[in-house]
Amino acid sequence: MKTQGHGDQIRIVSMTLANGRPVDRGHKYAIAFNSFDSRSGGHHFMKLRALLERPEANYILHPVQTRDALIDYFRRHKIVHRIAETASLPIGA
């Protein structure tokens, strides 16, 4: 994804799929967000929230919240092993 501008004025100017092909403007894509981001991300994603509230967005809020799914997972599995430390990657890598 390529953008122009800064802050509230940032705009997407081009977007590609993971394989490098351009996004087909005539194709419908399913996109998943966590519930926090889709509801505005603490007022940081108000434009996203406004887009998702439009009827044509066909927005579906899954009944299982991300937080609740994680809590349930750790309650069921009890043991959490430390992940080996790795070299951190620079942002944008």
Greatest Cα pair distance in the chain: 47
Q: Closest Cα to residue 44, out of 12, 91, 8, 3?
A: 8
Q: pLDDT value at position 88?
A: 65
Integer Cα distance of 89 and 10 in angstroms: 25
Task: Identify which has the larger pLDDT, 80 or 38.
Answer: 38
Give the pair of three-digit tokens for residue 47.
């434009």
pLDDT mean across residues, the chain: 82
Integer Cα distance of 85 and 7 in angstroms: 34
Q: Is a pLDDT exceeding 50 seen at residue 93?
A: no
Q: Is a pLDDT exceeding 60 seen at residue 60?
A: yes
Confidence of residue 92 (pLDDT cuts 50, 70, 90): low
Confidence of residue 21 (pLDDT cuts 50, 70, 90): very high
